[in-house]
Amino acid sequence: MFKALVVEKAESGDTHASVQNLEDSRLPEGNVTVAVEYSTLNYKDGLCLTSGGGLVRNYPHVPGIDFAGTVEASEDPRYREGDKVVLTGWRVGEVHWGGYATRARVNADWLVPLPEGLTTRQAMSVGTAGFTAMLAIMSLEDHGLAPGNGEVLVTGAGGGVGSVAVSVLSRLGHQVAAVTGRPALEPYLRDLGAHRIVPREELAETVKRPLEAETWAGCIDSVGGPMLARVLGQMQYGGSVASVGLAGGANLPATVIPFLLRGVNLLGIDSVMRPYADRVRAWTRIARDLPVEKLEAMVQPATLSDLPDLGAAILKGQVQGRVLVDVN
Ligand code: NDP
């Protein structure tokens, strides 16, 4: 038997989540079985815990787009019983049962070994959000961002992607400007390493002029929508924006002028289908560049039964930092 948070859908279309004990025979197909220790809460989990957001295909469903734990059984030569592993992406927790359970069965191709220097708890304190923040930083670096180039803007800074981005960028020696809609988060963001707080309202208006003062050397954007459009017009010559999320909307009411006159780059960041080599590179960088003491400050512990409420909260932008789920 294993314990799982199961989301069921009624004929009315309403969903309901509850913690249940399930037989092992209910586990989905896969060649590696993992004793899950920790999972997390990401924006997508908020959708899968509530309406499904078009991500979940079949009910009953076990959400949880990421987890870390210990291999219990493996039919794949790359993993053996006792190995510590991490999983993010590959639509686990969306179309495949995920990490909100004490046991998960997955495809070995989706796993990476737990990076040296991190515990399973720390890996899930980082989770998909932090992993994606690191992919964004690596992409900005690949396009020339280096400490000393100028201020790096992080939008949605109080959230999971934003919090990890702020602390890693600051540790790497960048000057970080953090955009938040929650003024009360200023001390938290400054502790993570932000040197400037930008109130969300300052970037909320839609583009009036396609080019504004050249302000940012780089940007990690979790928000999208009109805010991303504004930021594009404020980038320094040749600067890059890593587009990670859509917390503020999926539309992009922008002009192409920043690309044509300032050589600005808009870099797409996908964490879900990332090839294995990139994943290992990103986790190795996380183990090296994320200050562990800052990570602790970001973490809000939770259990499986807390998740339905927390799922609704993250969709309203009310979660601070990272929610760490002890599934046991
Ligand atoms: P969080 O909810 O933790 O963070 C999002 C933050 O955005 C909020 O905390 C809030 O920060 C800000 N925000 C929320 N609503 C608005 C709004 N209407 N306008 C402006 N700012 C807003 O989510 P995550 O950090 O987990 O994820 C962030 C985004 O990245 C999501 O859209 C998610 O789907 C996406 N994502 C994409 C991935 C990929 O592979 N590309 C992987 C992981 C996440 P504050 O209160 O400080 O302003």
pLDDT at site 181: 97
Q: Is 317 in the pocket of ligand 1 (CB under 6 A)?
A: yes
The domain in which residue 41 lies consists of 2-114+298-326
35 burial class (0-12, 13-18, 19+ CB within 10 angstroms)? Answer: middle
- Return the residue matching tokens 């038997």: 1
User: What is the whole-number distance in angstroms between the Cα of residue 318 and the centre of ligand 1?
Assistant: 10
Q: Which of 315, 328, 327, 324 is nearest to 122 (CA)?
A: 324
Q: Is 247 in the pocket of ligand 1 (CB under 6 A)?
A: yes
**In this structure, is residue 275 part of a structural domain?**
no
**In this structure, is residue 202 part of a structural domain?**
yes
CATH no. for residue 149?
Answer: 3.40.50.720
pTM: 0.96
Same domain, yes or no: 58 and 153: no
277 half-sphere exposure, CB direction, 13 A CA radius:
0
3-state SS assignment for residue 200: helix
Q: How many residues does the chain have?
A: 328
Q: Report residues of the chain scoring pLDDT below 70.
A: none
Nearest CA to ligand 1 atom 33: 245
**In this structure, is residue 273 part of a structural domain?**
no
Q: Is 314 in the pocket of ligand 1 (CB under 6 A)?
A: yes
How many CB atoms within 10 Å of residue 142? 10
What distance in Å separates the CA atoms of residue 113 and residue 136, rounded to the nearest whole number? Answer: 21
What is the rounded radius of gyration, in angstroms, for the C-alpha atoms of the chain?
A: 20
pLDDT at site 206: 81
Q: Which atom of ligand 1 is nearest to the CA of 246?
A: 32
- Return the residue matching tokens 């590696």: 32
**In this structure, is residue 100 part of a structural domain?**
yes
Question: How far, rounded to the nearest angstrom, does the alpha carbon of residue 172 sit from its chain's CA centroid?
Answer: 20
45 half-sphere exposure, CB direction, 13 A CA radius:
36
What distance in Å separates the CA atoms of residue 234 and residue 221, rounded to the nearest whole number? Answer: 13
Look at the chain and report how many structural domains it folds into. 2
3-state SS assignment for residue 75: coil
Q: Which of 247, 268, 289 is the last residue of a domain?
A: 268
Q: Which atom of ligand 1 is nearest to the CA of 227?
A: 20
Q: Is 112 in the pocket of ligand 1 (CB under 6 A)?
A: no
**In this structure, is residue 78 part of a structural domain?**
yes
CATH no. for residue 16?
Answer: 3.90.180.10
Same domain, yes or no: 101 and 139: no
Same domain, yes or no: 192 and 253: yes
3-state SS assignment for residue 165: helix
Q: Is 42 in the pocket of ligand 1 (CB under 6 A)?
A: yes
On whether the CB atoms of residues 178 and 196 are closer than 8 A, the answer is yes
**Would you state the structure tokens that stand for residue 236, as one six-digit string?**
């320094």
Q: Which atom of ligand 1 is nearest to the CA of 321?
A: 3
Q: Which amino acid is at 166?
A: V
Same domain, yes or no: 88 and 137: no
Q: Is 244 in the pocket of ligand 1 (CB under 6 A)?
A: yes
Nearest CA to ligand 1 atom 12: 156
Same domain, yes or no: 312 and 238: no
Q: Is 270 in the pocket of ligand 1 (CB under 6 A)?
A: yes
